[in-house]
Structure 1
Amino acid sequence: MAHDDNVLLPGVIRTGTLVSDNRLFPTMQVPIRVTEAGIEITISWSGEDAISRLWSGSEQYSDDPDRSQYLYEVPRNLWFYDVNGSIALLDCRRADMSQRLGLYSAGRGTIIANRAVMGAKLHTKYQQIYGLRTSIEGLRRWISKGSIERTSTHDKDFRYVSETLNIESPDDVRLEDDPLVYIHFDWTVSSKDGTYTVNDKVYVETRSSKPLTWQSAEHLHKAIQDLLSISYGENRDITESLILRSPKPVITANNRIANEEWLPITRRIQEQHRPKYHRGLIPYERLEKDSIQKWLSLYDQIPRAIDPIVASFTIDKATPEVKLLEAGSGLEALGYYLLKAGGKNKKEANKCSFKDRLKLITENLEDILPFDVNDWIQQTTSAYNGIKHANRKRPDIIVCLNSWQRAVLTFRCWIALNLGIDKDFLKSRAELDHMRGGYKLLWDENEEQE
C-alpha cells in the first residue's frame, strides 16, 4: 500500500532492499533516488562479484560460456522496499558503471527505471494497467468546473462576515467511449495544527475492463495535454499520475464503488512551467459535442504536424532558428496532409512547395489571423528555407522569432477552426494572443558603431 511517506523526492536518497523475480538476481541493499534521467538505482560490489556482469555487454566469460549461470541483462522489472513502503521499478535499463581494478578491486553500476509505481505489491507485474489518471496544469480552468463552491456573506457595510465551502464532485465529463476517457473530479481534506487544506482535483481518466498498455493509455492523455498546450500556446505539464491495476473495485451493497487502489507514479525530474496565459483559443465550453472525438482522430492522423509544432513552444532553451525549423517542418507535414485529403497522390503532394502549402493551410484563416497573411507567407518561406539550405541567406533573429510565433498561431487557429470554434470568437482571441508576432529590434549594434 502507498502512504504519505512513500515518495521519491528530488535530492532525497532512500536506502532499502532491491529484489527481482529472476532467481539469478541477488537480493541486496541499495540506494535509490529520482533524477533527470529517471529513477536511479546504484549497485556497489567488491572483488569479482557476479552482479558486475550486468554491465559486461558482449564480453565472454570462460566459467560461463553459454551465459546461463549468471545474469547479463538488467531485469525489466525490479522491486524496492524499505520502512516507508514498496515500489515497483518499471522498464529498467543499465546505465553508467565505474570499476577499480587491483588488490582492492571494487565497482559501482547504475540502473535507471523509467517509472516507479509507489505502493506496488512486491513481485506483481505492472506492465499492463486497467486505468490511468493524470492531472494537467490548467485543466480545471479549461473545463470550468471543480468540486468546491464558495459562498461569502458580508454585513451592511460590506465587511466580510463568513464564507461557506460546499464540497461536492460534479459528474464525470465523458470524452471518449473506447477505451473510456473522461474528466474525473475529486477532492481531499487534510488538517494540521488547526489549518484545514482542501485540494480540488481534476483528472483526465482512462479505464478499461481489458488490460491497457502504458503506451495506449498515455497516448490518450498526451492528446488532451497537447490540446491544452495548443489552446494556450504554452506548455501545460502533467502534474500528477496514478494507475489502477485491478479492473474489479470493491462494490457496496447499493452498487457504488467503495474503494479502488489508485497508485501514484513517479517519473524523472522535469522542470515545471507555471502558466502565464489564460485566454485560450479553444475553451472547452466553446467546443461542439463531437469536437473531442475530432481532435483524437486528428491527433492520430497528423502527428508529424502536431509534435514538432507543439515542441517548438514547449521545449526549453531552443534558439529562434530551431523553433522556426520545428514549426516549419510541422506546417510542411500539415500541408502534405491537406493535399492528400484534397485528392493529390503522394508524388503530386511531394512536389508542392512550402509556400503553396502555407497558402493551403491559411485558406480559411485570412479573416482570423491578426497579421497580413501574404506577407507572413513570403517572410516565413524565405526564413525557413534560409535555415534549411546553406546556400540561402540566413534570416536574422527578429524575422525568425516573428515567423515562428505566427506559424504557431496559424496552426493553433487552424486546429481551433477544425474543432468547431466560432470564427468571430477565434478572431477576437487571436488579436490578443501572445503569439501574434510582436518582436521588434530595439537598437542596432551596427548603427551604434557608426
Structure 2
Amino acid sequence: MPNDLKLGTRRTGDLIDFDPTTPPVKVVLEYTEQGISVEVPWSGPDDYYASWFLEGNLLGNQTEPRATPKRLLFVDSHGAVQLIGCWPHGYHTNFATGTGRVWAQFAVMGVDDDVDFLQVNGLQSEVSGLREWLGVSSVSEDMDGPTRSLTIVAKSADEIVVSPDLTLVPTWALERPESGTTLVRDLVACRTESQSPLPWGDLAATHQGVKDLMVLARWRPEISVPSIATRDDDPLLTMDGTDHGRQWRKVVPARWEEPPAAPGGYRPHLMEFGEIGGAQGVARWLHLRDEFSRAFDPIISDRYLQQVPAVTHLAQVGPGLEALGYLLLKNRDGVGSQSAKDSSLRTRLDRIAADIDGAVPFDVGIWAEEMTRVYNGIKHANRQLPAELSLLNCWRESVVAVRAWVALELGTPPAAAKRRLELDPSAARFIERP
C-alpha cells in the first residue's frame, strides 16, 4: 500500500509532536467526510495527552492543560503524514482512561523530517472552470478507425505568468479510481510562490481570487482545492545527498470538494480571457477585487447558497450593491467619505446603473427604482414584504448588474456583454406560471 490518504482511509501508527520529552503514543489516523483526524488515547487524568483535551477538575493533580500543537507528524509502515493546522475537538472518558480526537486542516504527504509546513514557500491549487475559460488543454487524443486504436497524449501546455507571484499552470493527472478504469484529468492550477515562508491562507488568497473570477464569468459555484506545497528547506534529494531543487509535496485538504458538473446547454463566459488582455486582465481583476472586496464578497458568496428563499438571496446581495455604489462614489467620483456614507440607496444604485447602461438586457433605471423599493421592503419591518416574483427578479437583475460591471471594468465591450447575458440561462427573467 502506498503512502496515500484517500477518503475512507484508516491507519494506525505513531504520533510525533516534535518535542523529545513527549511520551510515545499509538494513534489512529482517519480521513472521513467529516475531515482528517487522529484518535489519541490516554491512560489516566495524569497522562500528558489528556492535557490536550481535559481542563480543570477533570485533570490529574500533576497535569496542567496544554495547547495541542498546530503541527503533528503521523508515521506508520506506509510512510509519514504531516498534519497542519491541528486543533482538538471531541473526547470520551470514564474519568480514568479516555480518547480524544485532533483534527487537521491539511495533510502533507511524505514529510518525515522536522520541516515546518505551517508556512510554505509555494502553494498550488486546482481551480475548477479555469481550463475552459483559458481555452487550453494538456491532453490530446487520436482515434485510428481501421486499427481500432486510440492514442492519448498528455503533455502540459505552456504556463501563463500573471505576475511574479502567480502562475496559471496547465497540467494533467492520471487516476485509476477502480479496477479497469483509467481517468486522465485535464486541468489548470494556480501556483503562488514567495521568497519567505508564508501562512497557507496568504498564498491561497490569490487562488480564491481567480476562482471568484470564474464564478462571475459563468455564475456557477467553482472550487479551489490545494494540491501541492513546497518549502525551500525541503529540497528534493537523491540517495547521494545531491540537491535537485524544489520539491513539491502532495497535499490532502480536510474537506474534499467535487468540481461542479459542466453546465447544461449553452452558457457563455461573460468576460473572455483574450478580450480582457489575457494575463494582464487577470492581474487587473485581482487588483479590482482587492479594491471592491466589500462589494464582491457577499455577492459571490450568494452563489453558494442552496435551497434558501428569495428574501435570503436578496438580503445577501443587497449589502454588496450598497458597498459597490458607496465605493464608486468615494473612490471614482471623489465624493467625500461622509457624503458617500450618507448617500441614499437609490443614489448608490443609480451610480452603478450609469456604468452598465447598454450592457445589460434590461432598463437600468427601472432596475434601480424597483430594487430600491424591494430591498427597503425587506430591510424595514414596518413595510410590506414584496411579492416573491419581485424578490426573485430584483435578485437576478442585481447579480447581472454586478457581473456586467466587472466585465466592463476588465475590458469586455458593452454590446458583447449584453449579447452574452441575453443568451445566459442564469440571467433569464423569472415568470409566474399560469
Structure 2 counterpart of 1:236, which letter?
E
Distance 1:401 1:58, change over 3 A: farther
Matching of residue 357 in structure 1 with residue 348 in structure 2? yes
Structure 1 counterpart of 2:38, which letter?
I
Structure 1 residue 369: Cα displacement: 1.0
CA contact (8 A) 1:86 1:121 kept: yes
CA contact (8 A) 1:401 1:437 kept: no
| Distance (whole Å) between structure 1 residues aligned to residue 251 and residue 236 of structure 2 | 22
Distance 1:168 1:114, change over 3 A: closer
Matching of residue 168 in structure 1 with residue 155 in structure 2? yes
Structure 1 counterpart of 2:161, which letter?
R
Unpaired segments of 5 or more residues in structure 2? none
- Most deviating of 163-172 and 201-210: 163-172
What secondary structure, in the 3-state scheme, does the structure 2 residue paired with 1:377 have?
helix
- Most deviating of 54-63 and 347-356: 54-63
Counterpart of 2:12 in structure 1 is 15
Counterpart of 1:446 in structure 2 is none
Structure 1 residue 70: Cα displacement: 4.7
Distance 1:16 1:321, change over 3 A: farther
Structure 2 counterpart of 1:292, which letter?
V
How do residues 210-359 of structure 1 correspond to structure 2 at under 5 angstroms?
Answer: 210-239=196-225, 241-246=227-232, 260-272=246-258, 273-276=260-263, 278-288=267-277, 290-341=280-331, 342-359=333-350
| Distance (whole Å) between structure 2 residues aligned to residue 154 and residue 317 of structure 1 | 48
Matching of residue 206 in structure 1 with residue 192 in structure 2? yes
What secondary structure, in the 3-state scheme, does the structure 1 residue paired with 2:416 have?
helix
Match of 2:396 among 398, 405, 418: 405
Structure 1 residue 149: Cα displacement: 3.1
CA contact (8 A) 2:123 2:228 kept: yes
CA contact (8 A) 1:79 1:88 kept: yes
CA contact (8 A) 2:422 2:428 kept: no
Match of 1:187 among 167, 172, 177: 172
Distance 1:331 1:153, change over 3 A: same
Counterpart of 1:117 in structure 2 is 108
Distance 1:47 1:61, change over 3 A: closer
How do residues 125-144 of structure 1 correspond to structure 2 at under 5 angstroms?
Answer: 125-144=116-135
Structure 1 counterpart of 2:370, which letter?
Q
| Distance (whole Å) between structure 2 residues aligned to residue 24 and residue 116 of structure 1 | 24
Across the two proteins, how many residue pairs are aligned to each other?
423
Match of 1:95 among 74, 89, 110: 89
Counterpart of 2:36 in structure 1 is 39
What secondary structure, in the 3-state scheme, does the structure 2 residue paired with 1:236 have?
coil
Match of 1:52 among 45, 50, 53: 50
Distance 1:311 1:196, change over 3 A: closer
Structure 1 residue 312: Cα displacement: 0.4
Distance 1:106 1:396, change over 3 A: farther
What secondary structure, in the 3-state scheme, does the structure 2 residue paired with 1:363 have?
helix
Structure 1 residue 93: Cα displacement: 1.3
CA contact (8 A) 2:50 2:59 kept: no
| Distance (whole Å) between structure 1 residues aligned to residue 162 and residue 203 of structure 2 | 14
Counterpart of 2:4 in structure 1 is 6
CA contact (8 A) 1:130 1:247 kept: no
Root-mean-square deviation (Å):
3.0
Matching of residue 394 in structure 1 with residue 385 in structure 2? yes
| Distance (whole Å) between structure 1 residues aligned to residue 217 and residue 192 of structure 2 | 22
CA contact (8 A) 1:19 1:78 kept: yes
Give the TM-score taking structure 1 as reference length.
0.84
Structure 1 residue 249: Cα displacement: 6.0
Distance 1:197 1:149, change over 3 A: same
Distance 1:266 1:250, change over 3 A: closer
Distance 1:248 1:78, change over 3 A: closer
Structure 1 residue 89: Cα displacement: 1.0
Give the TM-score taking structure 2 as reference length.
0.87
| Distance (whole Å) between structure 2 residues aligned to residue 113 and residue 374 of structure 1 | 50
Structure 1 counterpart of 2:396, which letter?
Q
Distance 1:266 1:230, change over 3 A: same
CA contact (8 A) 2:310 2:392 kept: yes
CA contact (8 A) 2:131 2:170 kept: no
Counterpart of 1:26 in structure 2 is 23
- Most deviating of 201-210 and 337-346: 201-210
Structure 1 residue 227: Cα displacement: 0.6
| Distance (whole Å) between structure 2 residues aligned to residue 190 and residue 121 of structure 1 | 25
What secondary structure, in the 3-state scheme, does the structure 1 residue paired with 2:340 have?
helix
Structure 2 counterpart of 1:74, which letter?
T
Distance 1:118 1:396, change over 3 A: farther
Structure 1 residue 271: Cα displacement: 4.8
Distance 1:428 1:311, change over 3 A: same
CA contact (8 A) 2:137 2:157 kept: yes
